[in-house]
Structure formats: C-alpha cells, structure tokens
Structure 1
Amino acid sequence: MSDHSRRTCLPVPYSCAFVSSGRYRCSMDVLADVLSATKMGGTVAAVVRASGPWGISFPDLPIAAFHYVAEGECWLRRAGYEPLRLGAGDLVLLPAGAGHVMAGESSGPTVEFDELARAFGETPAVVVDLPGSGPAARILCGGFRFDAHSTHPMVRLPPLLWLKDIAAQGPDVAAVLRMLTTELCGPQPGTATVADRLVDVLFVHILRHWATGHGVPVGGSTWLRALDDAPVSAAVSLMHRCPERAWTVALLAKETGVSRATLYRRFTRLVGEPPLAYLTRWRMEITARRLRETDDTIAIITETVGYTSEFALSKAFRRHHGVSPSRYRATHRRTGSAVAGPTPDPQAGAPVGSR
C-alpha cells in the first residue's frame, strides 16, 4: 500500500460519532458515496394540477419515479397491485420506474403523460392543468437516473417506498419541495439546471427519511436500513473510507466493537450479502467510476481499491460488470453513458435481506 493510500484511510473515531449507548454510529456520508458512485442525477420534473375525473399514465422507464401530493388526494395504480390512496403530504418513490397511473379515482380512463407533456410544453418545467368540477389535487412529479449497470445493493430498493407527510418530517425537505414547485411553476433562465439540482437534493432527503424508519415498505426491504444499525453502519463506513485495506471480517469486527459472528450475521441479514462480498462490490463501483471519470491507469486503480494485481482486478470487474475495464472505459467515453454489456454476474442481483 502506498503512503498516499495510508493517509486517506481514517480510523473509526474520525469517521464515526460516539452515541449515548456506547456504540459508534457512522457520521461519514456513506449515502453520498453511493449516490456519487451510482451516477445519480435528476431528470425532468412536472407539476400536475387536476380536478374532476382524471388519470395520468406514466410509462415504464429506467428511472426512479417520484410523486409528491402537495394538495388534495389521489390514487396510485399499478398493474397487479391494489390501488393506493395518497393524502396531502405523502410522497411515493418507484425505484425501478415501473409503469403506473396517478389518478383522482381508484379506477377509470387515463391519458399518457408524454401526450400531456407535448401539449403543455416539453421542457424541464412542465405544468399540466386538468380542470374539472371535482376535488382538486396538486402533485409534484419527477424522476432520478442511476447507472443502469451498477451492482450496488442501494439500487435494489423495494418496488415502492411510501413516505407519509414527508414535509412534516423537517424544514429542510419542506423547503426543497417548495423551491422545486416554485421553480417549475414560474420558469426562468436556468430553471432546467436549478430543477435538476433540487431533484437530486430531494432524492437524498427521501433516502434519509427512509433509512431512519419513516417510510412504509411496499413489496420488499432495503439496504438503507443497514445504515441505522451501529456496528453494520460502522463496518460499511470503514470499507468506504479505506477500500484499499486488506479487510477481514475479524478485523472489521474488532474495529466496530462486536464479535466476528455477530457482525457477519447482522451485516448479511441487513445488507443482503456478507461483509467481504459487499467490499468486493464497492471496490467494483469505485473502479467503474474511476474508469468513467479519470485517466488513471489500471495499475493506479488496482492499488486504490486494494487488489494485488491488474489481472485480479480485471477478473473481478468482468464478473460484476460483464466487460473488461478497458472496454468499459472505451465504451463509456464513446457514448457518454454507462456501458451496455453482457448480463453481469447473477450474484450482483441477489435480493437484499430484511431487517
């Protein structure tokens, strides 16, 4: 390991805050690490103002779609599921971007969102007005992009996250929702950029609230819950802070103050895979990001993520991403997006364990 690598690795007291229970709870922003590595970004957002009988069909897209009910009530309809009634202040996130309907009633006809967007102006600040004689509702809609080929468990969220009265959880998220709505309803020069950044910030708030237990799971569990467990969160933080270290479960257990068996059991149950499998996956995310965003040689990246040889790194990368590091870099720089290669290792799609 190089001197530089040693200097970038902080001990637990610097990356964690002591809590009253006598345990360390991570304060390092693991969530920010993951969002950055998985190439999160905002997409088009819209405000829907509707009353009377109405229904909007949103297509199946490779984005995480969200809807925030600012006023009134509405229904979320999905094929194969019972309709979900949403009240003012509720926010839903569909991480996989599955096709769905937002409507004033639990059943009835719909119109395609793309058709409405064209009618009301295809810009990053779409305002859709659907007047009628029934109860009024105002909904903020949008989406977030992920690297489609990321194998991090963060991108394997439940099919639906439901956060009730999210604005009441704190002034910060309320301010973001208010600013985003204002920006979309009164577009100005730079609105596209401002809206994009606000959507990113909103997504972080959604995940924060979900990770701290404020959300209702609909159809699964999530890796984010692991960040609320002190030893597991500390172990994740250590691997993020020092991916180049030759970590073992015993060493992680010693650093986090629990037994090897306890850490292994809790980590596997909450994260969905054993600690060292997660470490490998995280190293592959770092490698992919370095290949996309830097000119670092494979040799430099190999040392950065703690592999003993370029061959070993290339073999692991191909297993997780389906292509070699050199092809990944070349394809990404040619297309400006994440490489589309063969189907990754099936283990990369293993379901996340429940609490």
Structure 2
Amino acid sequence: MDVLSDAIGVMRTGRPHSTEIRKRAPWGVRAEPFSGAGFHVVLEGSCWLIPQEGAPIALSAGDVVCLPHGCGHALADSVSTPLANAPSASLPAITPSTDDGEGAATVLLCGAYTLDQTRPHPLFEELPDVIHLPARLGHHRPLHAAVNLLGDEIANPEHGTEAVVSALLDMMLLYILRAWLSSQTGGGWAATLRDPVITAALRHIHQEPARQWTVETLGAKAGLSRAAFSRRFTSLVGKPPLGYLTWWRMTLAAQLLRDSDRPLQAVAQRTGYTSEFAFAKAFKREHGLAPGQFRQQSRR
C-alpha cells in the first residue's frame, strides 16, 4: 500500500476516459466546473488554457495540464478568440465542431477522471486548481511515455484498447501528481511523502486499517518515541496519528459501502470495529448518515 495510490483509489467513482481532438484556428470553448479531475495534453501545435481565476497559460506541444478539482476553464487558439460553451458541463474535454477556422492546427488529448470530491484525501486538498507541466527535454519521461502510448492507442485502436486506455490514464494521473509533488520544496503533503519515518507509519495505517493501533505502536514502527512521533506526525500530516487513523477508516468505509455489497458487519471489521453498532455510531458521527442510508444515497 502507498498513500498516493490509496488517495486516488478511495476517490475514484468510475473509469477515466479520453479522446483526441483536432482544431483549427480560430477556435475557443468554455468548460464549466465538473465533478472529477481533468487533463489536457498538447500533441501538436499550441493553444491557451484560460482558468476562471488567474492569468491565461500558454501551452505548446508536449505540455501537460491537469485540473485536479474540476475547475471551470477554457481552451482557445488565442486569448482574444470568442468562447463557445462546451456541450456538456460534466466533462472537461472539448469536442470536434464544424465551425472551426482554417488556420493553424492544434491536436489535443483531453479527458477526465471521475472522482468523488465530497471527501478528498488531504493530499488532494493541497493541489492547486491547475497543474501545468511544460515539456522540457529529459523531464517527466515516464509521463510523456504514457502520453505517447495513450495517443497511439487512441489513434490506432485494437483488441483490448479499452482496458489499455484505462490503465494508461491511471498511470498518467499518478505521474502528474508525482511530478507536482517532486517540484514542491515547502511543507504539506509533499514534505510528508519525503519523510521516510512518517511515510512508514502511513503505510502501516493504510495496509492494516483494522489493526488496533496506538500512538506507541505506530511510533515503534517508525522508530521514534511516542511523544516525538506524535509531534512529527501531527506537524506534517495536519492531524494527530489516531485522528488520521479514524479519518482513513471512515473514508475507506465510505468507499466500501459505495462500491461493494459487503454486509455492514464485514465493512465494520475491515475498518477496525468489532461491533456493527460501534461502527455505525462512528460512521454517522463522521458522515452525518447511518451506513445503510449512505449506501442507498450513494447509489442513486
């Protein structure tokens, strides 16, 4: 288990999707906010990403841009081009149209990840609205390798393409987040994941959420005294060790209720509760709904 994979896993609510788009200047389209995370990759040509807040961002061939919180934005050949509304507010991707111009061509790979943003992992909460990874020779090689494979697969579909595309999109999101985290020099979760002691403790929590952890046992796994471990963990993670443990258990429980048909007793045991009653009480305190009600509402 690792925190980055788990952070994405508990938020995922469906399969990612993408498509290749070809536009000719002048063109411009506005995408409304959506539930999930979106991305755009410039395969050929250039364009501008225009966020709802902040300055426009010039994109050129090889650039990758991710919108982790599904913020509204626009894409255009020029910041002065009038913008049309995207046909669907739920998708960040632009679609082919018949009213493009006859100017310079731009080829984009656009897509979205369907994520539950109602309870994001704290790592996701720290991400900016827009992550821009400019193309630089020798930088982000795994990400650009995944982009090339994805572009080839979409342009030349064969047997198994659906599964390949889904796997490559998952890889892309992880590589994007890795690249952003590695570029951060301050505190927060970037610093947390660079700390081998706290990372080890987090891995134990994620790997064995049902274990009856104490601050002492987690500190021992990390090789620190109880007091030193508690201070270091709280400073980096933003929650005390047992506070994060409870948060993770309840987040995992919500995913299990939403995505599986496990009986409530099995969900309780998986998240460290020997009693279904104790689990239901803790879950309602955290989510505001009883587990059964939460399961029903999440599937409507």
Shorter-chain TM-score category? 0.7 to 0.9
- Structure 2 match to 1:230: 196
Q: Does 1:317 align with 2:283?
A: yes
1:245–1:44 CA distance, 2 compared to 1 (3 A): closer
1:137 and 2:106 correspond: yes
One-letter amino acid of the structure 2 residue matched with residue 69 of structure 1: V
Match of 1:114, SS? coil
Q: Does the CA-based 8 Å contact 2:40-2:65 persist in structure 1?
A: yes
Equivalent position of 2:128 in the other structure: 158
What pairs with 1:188-267 in structure 2 (closer than 5 Å)? 191-211=161-181, 213-214=182-183, 223=189, 225-267=191-233
For structure 2, the 5+ residue unaligned runs are none
Query: Percent identity at matched positions?
Result: 37
Give the RMSD, CA atoms, in angstroms. 3.2
Q: TM-score, normalised by structure 2?
A: 0.82
Greater Cα shift, 145-154 or 311-320:
145-154
Counterpart in the other structure of 2:116: 147
Residues 264-317 of structure 1: per-residue CA shift (max 9 Å, x gap) = 344334333222221111101222233234443333332332235323321221
SS at match of 1:232: helix
Question: Which amino acid is the alignment partner of residue 283 of structure 1?
Answer: R
State the alpha-carbon separation in 1 of the partners of residues 13 and 258 from structure 2.
14
Q: Per the alignment, do residues 154 and 280 of structure 1 end up closer, same or farther by CA in structure 2, a change over 3 Å counting? A: same
Report the Cα offset of residue 189 of structure 1.
6.5
Q: Residues 19-60 of structure 1, C-alpha deviation per residue, up to 9 Å, x if partnerless?
A: xxxxxxxxx433223322222544442323334333221221
**Partner of 1:278 in structure 2?**
244
Could you report, residue by residue, the CA deviation over 1:93-149 in whole angstroms, capped at 9, with x for unpaired residues?
Answer: 11111110112223331123328xxxxxx9x99666845334x43221111011244
Paired residue for 1:66, among 35, 39, 44? Answer: 39
Question: 2:258: which partner in 1?
Answer: 292
Q: 1:50 to 1:259 in 2, by over 3 A?
A: farther
Cα gap change, 1:76/1:267 in structure 2, threshold over 3 Å: closer, same or farther?
farther
CA displacement 1:144-181 (0-9 Å, x = unmatched) = 01124435324423322222327844553323211222
8 A Cα contact 1:47 1:138, kept in partner: yes
Contact 1:54 1:103 in 2 (8 A): yes
Q: TM-score, normalised by structure 1?
A: 0.71
- Note the 1:37-186 alignment, pairs <5 A: 37-39=10-12, 41-114=14-87, 130-134=100-104, 136-156=105-125, 157-165=127-135, 168-169=138-139, 171-186=141-156
Do 1:223 and 1:270's aligned partners in 2 also have CA atoms closer than 8 Å? yes
